[in-house]
């Protein structure tokens, strides 16, 4: 059996962003040019696994393929290093998902490929209680 390309890409299992070696700014998703100082001296940097919800919304009619996950909570999370990420919030009591709530990253099944049956995983966030 051939190992699928996505299985060997650690970016699917880790929050890997970028760090500017000139000014120290950190970004997610990764960038090739620093948005702060314009430097191209960029390296990969694993992002913190915790942060706080800045804003969120609830989708009662989620995107195709995510119907079983309704209601679908989307949030903008500010990580401990200041980088911001748009992410799904899962496995959290309904009342705990709110602005300012502390969250941590987790790996969950994102979808199943209909043709191959391959399960695709990705990072999501959970409210810390």
Burial label, 92 (beta-carbon count in 10 A; 0-12, 13-18, 19+): middle
Summarised one tens digit per residue, pLDDT across range 30-65 is: 999 999 999 999 999 999 999 999 999 998 887 787
The per-residue pLDDT for 9 is: 57
Pick the CATH number of 48-129 from 3.90.280.10, 3.40.50.1000, 2.40.50.840, 3.40.50.720: 2.40.50.840
Q: What confidence tier does 8 reach under pLDDT thresholds 50, 70, 90?
A: very low
Tokens standing for 70?
A: 């309704």
Judge whether 123 and 87 are in contact, CB under 8 Å. yes
Task: Give the three-class secondary structure for 12.
Answer: helix
- Domain residue ranges in the chain: 1-47, 48-129
- CA-based nearest residue to 83, from 22, 29, 20: 29
Q: Can you tell me the mean pLDDT for 74-93?
A: 94
Q: What is the mean pLDDT of residues 90-101?
A: 94
Q: Do you find a cis peptide bond into 70, omega within 30 degrees of 0?
A: no
Mean pLDDT of the chain: 86
Cα 32 to chain centroid distance, Å, stands at: 19
């Amino acid at each position: 059996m051939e190992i699928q390309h996505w299985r060997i890409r650690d970016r699917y299992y880790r929050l890997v962003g970028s760090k500017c070696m000139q000014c120290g700014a950190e970004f997610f998703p990764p960038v090739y040019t620093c948005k702060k100082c314009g430097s191209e001296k960029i390296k990969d940097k694993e992002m913190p696994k915790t942060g706080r919800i800045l804003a969120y919304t609830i989708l009662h009619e989620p995107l195709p393929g995510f119907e079983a996950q309704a209601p679908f909570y989307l949030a903008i999370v500010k990580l401990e290093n200041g980088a911001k990420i748009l992410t799904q919030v899962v496995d959290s009591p309904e009342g705990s998902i709110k602005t300012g709530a502390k969250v941590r990253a987790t790996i969950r099944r994102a979808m199943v490929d209909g043709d191959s049956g391959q399960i695709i995983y990705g990072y999501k966030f959970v409210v810390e209680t």
